[in-house]
Amino acid sequence: MTMLEFPQGFQWGAATASYQIEGAHNEDDRGLSIWDTFSHQPGRVMHGENGDIACDHYHRYEQDIALMAELGLQTYRFSVSWSRVIPFGTGHVNEKGLAFYDRLIDALLDRGIEPALTLYHWDLPQALQDLGGWANREIVEAFAGYARLLFERYGDRVSRWITLNEPLIFTQFGHRSGVMAPGIRSLPVTARAVHHALLAHGRAVQAFRESGREGEIGITNANTSYEPADDTPETLRATELARDFDTRLYHGPVYGRGYPESVLAYYAARDAALPILPGDLEVIAAPTDFLGVNLYSRQRIEASDDRGVGYRNAPPTLPLLDMGYEAAPHALGDFVRWVTKEYGRPRIYITENGVCDNTELAGGRVDDQLRIDLLRGFLAGLHGAIADGADVRAYYQWSLMDNFEWAFGYSKRFGMVWTDFATQERVKKASAEWYAGVIRRNGVEG
């Protein structure tokens, strides 16, 4: 066995998000978010579950940070709940909510763990949704105001900022298929949400520069490594279309390339043109410092006119994980190589990568060997991409602990730490011990 060593200074971390772990949904004057509303509507979330309590992290953050320290985490990515700090999205600021993140950040720093703060991980204040949410252009300035508040309040201690988590997922799944909050199914609404989300990102980047704070800011996109099912010209063309619709739509404008023509034409032909005003593309292209990459799997693509987009998913050939997608550890290195080439070698943080492995607690242990095997493969692939020239500086595993997996409720476990949702007991899984070893050695067995 060889040891694949990562570059000196490479950072190892883990990631979570506010609604998935915090609980305390009605404490300390927190406002409602769209996920409170959505999860309380019958039939939206598996088994009728919600994030009212989740991992109760709001009360247990000290214990959770102690666990992070035991694992040796060097950095921790979390998100702020907008409605905890500005209950109605704009206007009144809730000091108690702000104070929670002060305590969290200070406790991380006390343990020598660098905070990486995501401004938006899907829990939009319900009051803003009532005004149209991401479909209403006014959200752009609301988001910039929220961002300014956080830069001002935490910018002396936080230097890594992520504007949006996965606009692909919250725009398409929240507004088109409707399987996530706010549960809308409309192409025109989706088109508006996409453009306003990216515009909000750009305004937050500008606000960060104006704040004079030191540090770095970027966006995190959801990615899949697309692979042509064969090498015919139609299939290769179809694969590029898949990249246009899911990847370039969200990365292109941020890197000053504008929106892909194929996607603009698709939306426009369906009375759903993106509401682009003069100057918008310049705002979205405000230079960022890094690209956040989330990646869980690959997808084989073939040509098809079924949905009018020119491509569809080809049948899987690898074993499926509990989430329904393929166990494809090579996908991380492949995607990082692709994105490095496509956008001129951006600095990359892997802001999420992980494995759904529902292995249960047995005899006080969780032997999640599948997670370990796949993570090892993902990291070996990442190591290869770095050796080939990609500028990857940090890796955050999703997730620190089992948590509320959105529309799947608590039925999908992504944690390195087992959460007993009835007692709130935490138990480190085998993968946690393994990851602690990876961090100690700054490397992975190849």
Q: Binding segment for ligand BGC among 88-96, 161-169, 210-218, 339-347 (CB under 6 A)? A: 161-169
Binding mask 411-430 for ligand BGC (x = CB under 6 A): ---x----------------
CA proximity to 396, closest of 63, 116, 2, 38 = 116
Question: How many whole angstroms separate alpha carbon 274 and alpha carbon 194?
Answer: 8
Which pair of structure tokens corresponds to residue 76? Answer: 């921790």
The answer to whether the CB of 93 falls within 8 A of the CB of 80 is: no
Nearer to ligand BGC (CB atom), residue 17 or residue 263 = 17
Least distance in angstroms from the C-beta of 120 to ligand BGC: 11
Distance between CA 304 and CA 146 in Å, rounded?
Answer: 42
Contact between 144 and 151 (Cβ < 8 Å): no
Nearer to ligand BGC, 20 or 83 (CB): 20
Give me the least distance between CB of 416 and ligand BGC, in Å please: 13
DSSP per-residue letters across 225-262: EEEESS-SHHHHHHHHHHHIIIIIHHHTGGGT--S-HH
Q: Considering the complex, state which of residue 164 and residue 200 has its C-beta at the smaller distance from ligand BGC.
A: 164
Contacts for 285 with CB less than 8 Å, ≥ 6 apart? 202, 253, 254, 255, 256
Q: How far is the CB of 173 from ligand BGC (least distance, A)?
A: 9
Q: Decide: helix, strand or coil at residue 76.
A: strand
CB of 408 to ligand BGC, least distance (A): 8
Shortest Cβ 273–ligand BGC spacing (Å):
27
Helical segments of 269-368, H only: 280-284, 330-342
Let me know: does 50 contact 39? Beta carbons within 8 Å. Answer: yes
List 169, 179, 309, 427, residue binding ligand BGC (CB under 6 A): 169
We find the least distance from the C-beta atom of residue 193 to ligand BGC, in angstroms, to be 17
Give the C-alpha distances (Å, rounded to integers) separating 289 from 218, 254, 382.
Answer: 6, 11, 20
The amino acid sitting at 32 is L
Count of chain residues binding ligand BGC (CB under 6 A): 11
Nearer to ligand BGC, 37 or 294 (CB): 294
User: What does the angle CA 236 – CA 237 – CA 243 come to, to the nearest 5 degrees?
Assistant: 95
Q: How far apart are CA 249 and CA 243, in angstroms?
A: 8
Distance in angstroms (rounded) separating the CA atoms of residues 210 and 292: 22
C-beta of 64: minimal distance to ligand BGC in Å?
16
Residue number, 293 or 382, with CB nearest to ligand BGC: 293
d(CA 98, CA 82): 10
Question: Which of 85, 95, 106 is closest to 18 using CA atoms?
Answer: 85
Q: Which stretch binds ligand BGC (CB under 6 A): 29-37, 65-73, 163-171, 335-343?
A: 163-171
Among 13, 385, 405, 415, binds ligand BGC (CB under 6 A): 405
Of residues 201-260, those binding ligand BGC (CB under 6 A):
222
Q: Verify binding: residue 398, ligand BGC, rule CB under 6 A.
A: yes
Of the listed pieces 33-41, 165-173, 198-206, 429-437, which binds ligand BGC according to CB under 6 A?
165-173
Of 155 and 174, which has the nearer Cβ to ligand BGC? 174
- Burial label, 271 (beta-carbon count in 10 A; 0-12, 13-18, 19+): exposed
* Nearest-approach distance from CB 292 to ligand BGC, in angstroms: 10
Asked, as a colleague might, if the bond just before 431 is cis with ω within 30 of 0, I would say no
Q: Which of 129, 221, 224, 294 binds ligand BGC (CB under 6 A)?
A: 294
Name which of residues 340 to 369 contact ligand BGC (CB under 6 A): 352
Q: Active-site residue numbers?
A: 166, 352
**Toward ligand BGC, which CB reaches closer, 267 or 396?**
396
**Quick one: tokens of 412?**
């999908």
Chosen residue from 165, 221, 288, 297 binding ligand BGC by CB under 6 A: 165
**Hey, which residues between 36 and 75 contact ligand BGC (CB under 6 A)?**
none
Residues forming the site for ligand BGC (CB under 6 A): 17, 20, 165-166, 169, 222, 294, 352, 398, 405, 414
